[in-house]
Amino acid sequence: MTSLHTEPHPALRHVASTSTTTTTPISPFPGERIEAVPVSTVLDTITAVVHAREAQANWSHTTLAHRAEILNRYHDLVLERQDLLLDVIQRETGKARGHAMEEIFHVAMIARFYATDGRAALKHDSRAGAIPVFTDVEVHHQPKGVVGIISPWNYPFSLAICDALPAVMAGNAVVLKPDLQTLWSALHAVDLLVEAGLPEGVVTVVVGDGPDIGGALIDEVDYVCFTGSTATGRRVAAQVASRLIGMSLELGGKNPMIVCADANLEKFLDIAVRSCFTSAGQLCVSTERMFVAREIYPQFLAALVERTRSLTLGASLGWGYDVGSLTTAAHAGRVQAAIARAIEEGAKVVTGGTLRTDIGPLVFEPTVLTGVSPTMSVAVDEVFGPCVVVTPFDSVDEAISMANDSEYGLSASVITSDLVLGSRIAEQIRCGSVNVNESYAAAFGSVSSPMGGMGQSGYGRRHGAEGILRFTEPQTIAIQRGLTISPHFGRTDSQWAGIMTKALNLMKKLWIR
C-alpha cells in the first residue's frame, strides 16, 4: 500500500479548523490511501471570512503588476510539479492520467491568461462625459471583497483554483470549500499559489458538508462562485439572492453532438471517444446525446462501438490506459441505476453497461445506448458517467431541434466537413459553448473566451474578460471641470432647457457620445 503523505503536509495550514474531527476520503484505486484532513466548524467558516477580509484589505492595495508576477510564477510551478499533482488528482478521482493532465494544462493556461490579459480588463476605462471637454469620466473596477468558491470533485485541481486565480488577480480574497472527496487536490493548488508569492490568508480553505459549511460560507462572503449540480445550484442561487450579492454558477448539462452526413469517420471517432469518455464521463461538458445523420448511422455506430470496445480500462496511478474509474461508490451507484432504468424503459445496450470490479471497484465500462426515445429518463437526465445515447436524424433542422430539446445548455459539438454548415448549425444550438469538429477542448481551452451555460446549465461565465470582471464592482468616477450641469450665468430653467435641447441635437449630429 501507498499513502498520500508520510507526515502531515504543510498545506494543512491553509485549512481553517479548530476541530479535532477529521475526514478521510476513500480512493477509488485499490491499495491507495488518502490522508485525513481536519474538519471546519461553522464558527471556523465565519472566522475564516473575517480573517480573509483583513487579508484582502492589504492585498487590494498591491499593484496589478505584482499580482501578475505571482500568477506567472504559479504557471511555472504547476507545470514543474505536474507529476506530484497528477498523482494527487488520480488518487482522489480515479481518472486516467491523460485526463488528469487536462487539469494541469487548464490551470496553467488560466494563470498565464489572467497574468497578461487580466491587467487589460481591470485597467481604468475612460468614457465620454456628460458635457464634452468639461466632464471627465473613468470606470474603475473595485474588488468585491471576499469571494466564496464551492468546487466539485470531478475536476478537483482545476475547478478549485481556476476561479480563484482571476478573483485574487482582481484584488479579492478567497475562501474555498472543496468537495470532501478531493480535498488534497485543492490544498496543493492553494499551497503552490502561496509558494508562488501569494500572501498567507488571501486564499483559505474550509472543510465540511455543503449544507452546513457551504451555507455558512454563502451567508458571509461578498460573492459566490459555485460549480456543481443544477439541483444544488438552485438552492445556492436562492440563498445568494436573499442576500442581494453576486454569483456565478456552472451547473449540469445534457450535451449534444450532431454528426452530419459528410463527417469524416476517423475524425469523428477520435472526437467522439474523447467527448463521451474523458474522465469516465464525469465531465460537465461531456457528450451524452449523439445525433447521427441516418445515411451514415449504421457505419458510424458500428465504428463507434468497435472503437469504444477497444478502449483500455485501468484503476492505478500512472499512464497506460484510456479510461479510469468513477470517483465514489455513491456516484457509481447512480450511474448503474441510470443505465438499469434506461434498459427497463426499452433502451438497448450496444456495448458496455457493466461495472468492472475485476479491474477496479468503481470502473464502469464505456457504454453506448440506442433505441432511446426523447421521453426516456436517459435522454433527459444527466448521467454524468461513461454513457452516450446515439440516435439517427433525417435532416439538419431535425438534428438542431433534437439538440435543443433539453432544459440544459452548456456545451455542444458539430462534426462536419463543411465549416460553413458547421458554423450555421452552431449558431442555432442553445448552448454556451459549441465546438465544430472538436469535442469540448476547443472552446474550453480558449480561455480568452467566456465559458458557461444557458438555461438550467448555469448563470454567469468563467474565462475571458467576463471571468475576471464578475469579481469586481464597476465604479464610475466623474470629474466636472468649469461648467456645472445646471442653469448658470443667470439663466432661467426654461432658458437652460432650450440650450440643452440644442446641445443634444448638435451632439447627435456630430456623433458625440
- 387 given a catalytic annotation: no
User: What DSSP line would sit under 312-342, residue for residue?
Assistant: -B--SSSSS-SB---S-HHHHHHHHHHHHHH
pLDDT given for residue 130 in this prediction:
83
Hey, what amino acid is at 268?
F
Residue 137 contacts residue 127 (beta carbons within 8 Å): yes
Strands 146-150 vs 173-177: parallel, antiparallel or unpaired = parallel
Domains with residue ranges and CATH for the chain: 12-126+141-251+464-472 (3.40.605.10), 255-450 (3.40.309.10)
Do 258 and 394 contact (CB within 8 A), yes or no?
Answer: no
Residue 189 grid coordinates: 493548488
How many CB atoms within 10 Å of residue 108? 17
**Quick one: cell of 201?**
490568508
Look up residue 69 and give its DSSP letter: H
Check: CB of residue 36 under 8 Å from CB of residue 22.
yes
Closest listed residue to residue 470, CA positions, set 221, 127, 223: 223
Helix residue spans in 210-323 (DSSP H):
215-220, 230-243, 265-277, 297-310
Q: Kindly calculate the radius of gyration of the chain based on its CA atoms and give it in whole angstroms.
A: 26
pLDDT computed for residue 375 by the predictor:
94
Read out DSSP for 145-175? SEEEEE--SSSTTHHHHTTHHHHHHTT-EEE
Residues 6+ apart with CB under 8 A from 431: 255, 256, 409, 410, 411, 412, 453, 454, 457
Q: How far apart are the first and last CA of the chain?
A: 70
Q: How would you write the pLDDT of the chain (513 residues) with one tens digit per residue?
A: 344 445 678 999 999 999 999 999 999 999 999 999 999 999 999 999 999 999 999 999 999 999 999 999 999 999 999 999 999 999 999 999 999 999 999 999 999 999 999 999 999 989 988 888 888 999 999 999 999 999 999 999 999 999 999 999 999 999 999 999 999 999 999 999 999 999 999 999 999 999 999 999 999 999 999 999 999 999 999 999 999 999 999 999 999 999 999 999 999 999 999 999 999 999 999 999 999 999 999 999 999 999 999 999 999 999 999 999 999 999 999 999 999 999 999 999 999 999 999 999 999 999 999 999 999 999 999 999 999 999 999 999 999 999 999 999 999 999 999 999 999 999 999 999 999 999 999 999 999 999 999 999 999 999 999 999 999 999 999 999 887 888 877 788 898 888 888 888 888 888 755
Collapsing DSSP to helix, strand or coil, 2 comes out as strand
Residues 276, 284, 387, 431: which is the catalytic one? Answer: 284
State the pLDDT at residue 202: 98
| Measured distance CA(50)–CA(379) in Å, rounded | 46
pLDDT at position 134 is 86
Angle at 392 between CA 388 and CA 398, to 5 degrees: 110
* H/E element, 97: helix 97-122
Which entry of 250, 288, 365, 382 is annotated as an active-site residue?
250
Active site residue 162: no
What's the pLDDT score for residue 7? 65
Q: What is the spatial distance between Cα 499 and Cα 511, in angstroms, rounded to a whole number?
A: 18
Q: Which three cell numbers stand for residue 254?
A: 445534457
51-55 own/partner pairs: CB under 8 Å, 24+ apart? 51/16, 51/201, 51/204, 52/146, 52/173, 52/174, 52/175, 52/201, 52/202, 52/204, 53/145, 53/146, 53/173, 54/201, 55/173, 55/199, 55/200, 55/201, 55/202
Q: So what's the pLDDT on residue 4?
A: 43
Phi (first) and psi of residue 23, to 5 degrees:
-125, 140
Helix (H) or strand (E) holding 249: strand 246-250
Residue 494, CB half-sphere, CA atoms under 13 Å: how many?
A: 0
DSSP per residue over 396-456, as a string?
HHHHHHHHT-SSEESEEEEE-S-HHHHHHHHHHS-SSEEEESSSSHHHHH-TTS-B--EET
- In whole angstroms, how far apart are CA 258 and each of 49, 251, 269, 303, 500? 46, 22, 13, 16, 57
> Residue 33 is inside which H or E element, if any?
strand 32-33
Nearest alpha carbon to residue 288 among 257, 313, 261, 260: 257
Could you tell me if residue 455 is left (phi over 0), alpha (psi between -120 and 50 degrees) or otherwise beta?
A: left
